[in-house]
Amino acid sequence: MSVIRFNKAINMALSEEMKRDANVFIAGEDVAEAGGSFGVTKGLLNEFGESRVVDTPISEGAIIGLAVGSSLTGLKPVVEIMFMDFMAVCFDQIINQAAKMRYMSGGKMSLPLVIRTQAGAGFNAGPQHSQSLEALLMHIPGIKVVMPSNPYDAKGLLKTAIRDENPVIFIENKMLYGLKGEVPDEEYVVPFGKANIVRKGTDVTIVALGQMVNKAKSVTKQLEQQGISAELIDPRTITPLDKDTIVNSVAKTGRLVIVHEAVKTGGVGAEIAALVQEEVFDYLDAPIQRVAAPFTPVPYSKPLENYFLPDEQKIIEAVKKVCIGRQFPQLVGRD
């Protein structure tokens, strides 16, 4: 085992997969010489040369088009859209091209490509550099969407993404790059569609996405001290979504809180809540709660961004809200 940072984990996954498969290449703005805006692709130019680590012009539409065309014809691109916000500039290539081609061709075309991008608030980067847009992507059949929450998963999931035959969007929350975690020295992969049960518990299920997993994790410890045993689930990929793990957990605990950083309205939490009520409505002891951002753009100023971001306190409040009642009479009137 080694303890490494999240950005290094991604770097290692890229390097290992490029060694393993000569068709894998990287392209994006400032990924080569500069090593990426967050140091994620550092050293890869030296290791693999200019033909496999490609600096592109500022041309997001063409970057995704490059990935679509080259993957259709035999290469395996891993391209970078520097900030997820900039995906809005290339949505045609993602939504109408990458996501549709296999289907439209009756399964004849194959697009093994990965789009790495960076999302989330927390750096006061303002409304056009802080968004979490995963729900827009989850809504589109034909692409897979990955949201790692720690270095171990990031490395293993990215390797899976690169080996996948489908277009995969790999979302790196910008607050995670510095996070350290244990990663095995030997080769491993993390499969898609297999949620991680971060912590087992019996009273309430918390499903958290991406960076919010870490906030929820610290919350579960505090809840434990107050006599609430929370089960924490990190889906790791939202397409495919591991419905079974979530549903089974809710059937056991009877309570569900969903936590994500994106705005609540039309968010991934709405999808998860709907799935749960379709499958295990009769097991629920309390209405499902969603902890998410308000229906606003991400503001710049510190007090505003803090207000926008879901925090531990809000998660605790939501958990208490669903736990008030039968098993936890001591909580009544205390929220």
Ligand X SMILES: Cc1ncc(C[n+]2csc(CCOP(=O)(O)OP(=O)(O)O)c2C)c(N)n1
Q: Which position has the token pair 């299920």?
A: 205
- 287 near another protein (CB under 8 A): no
Query: How far is residue 89 from each of residues 94, 118, 143, measured CA to CA in Å?
Result: 10, 15, 18
Site string for another protein, 82-121 (x = CB under 8 A): ---xx-xx--------------------------------
> Which residue from 17, 29, 172, 231 is in contact with ligand X, where contact means CB under 6 A?
29
Task: Tell me how far, at minimum, the Cβ of 199 lies from another protein, in Å.
Answer: 30
Task: Tell me how far, at minimum, the Cβ of 63 lies from ligand X, in Å.
Answer: 9
Q: Collapse the DSSP code of 174 into the 3-class scheme (helix H, G, I; strand E, B; otherwise coil) and give the result.
A: helix
From the list 133-141, 175-183, 207-215, 305-313, the region that binds another protein by CB under 8 A is 305-313
Task: Tell me how far, at minimum, the Cβ of 78 lies from another protein, in Å.
Answer: 19
Q: Any idea what DSSP says for residue 94?
A: I
- 49 near another protein (CB under 8 A): no
Phi, psi of 48 (to 5 degrees): -120, -10
Positive or negative, the CA dihedral 297, 302, 304, 310 is: positive
Tokens of 140: 């589109």
Please report, for the chain, how many H helices and E strands are present, in that order: 12, 14
- 60 near ligand X (CB under 6 A): yes
From the list 61-69, 82-90, 170-178, 316-324, the region that binds ligand X by CB under 6 A is 82-90
Residue 51 to residue 256: CA distance in whole angstroms: 49
Q: Kindly report the number of other CB atoms within 10 A of residue 297's CB atom.
A: 13
Find the helix or strand (DSSP H, E) in which 146 lies.
strand 144-146
Closest CA to 133 of 182, 81, 93, 63: 81
Residue 317 to residue 232: CA distance in whole angstroms: 16
Task: Tell me how far, at minimum, the Cβ of 129 lies from ligand X, in Å.
Answer: 7
260 carries an active-site annotation: no
> Which residue from 34, 58, 104, 304 is in contact with ligand X, where contact means CB under 6 A?
58
> Which residue from 10, 40, 64, 82 is in contact with ligand X, where contact means CB under 6 A?
82
Would you please indicate which residues are annotated as catalytic (active-site) residues?
A: 129
- Binding residues (CB under 6 A) for ligand X: these are 29, 58, 60, 82, 86, 89
- Binding residues (CB under 8 A) for another protein: these are 29-30, 33-34, 37, 55-62, 85-86, 88-89, 123-129, 264-266, 294-297, 299-304, 306-308
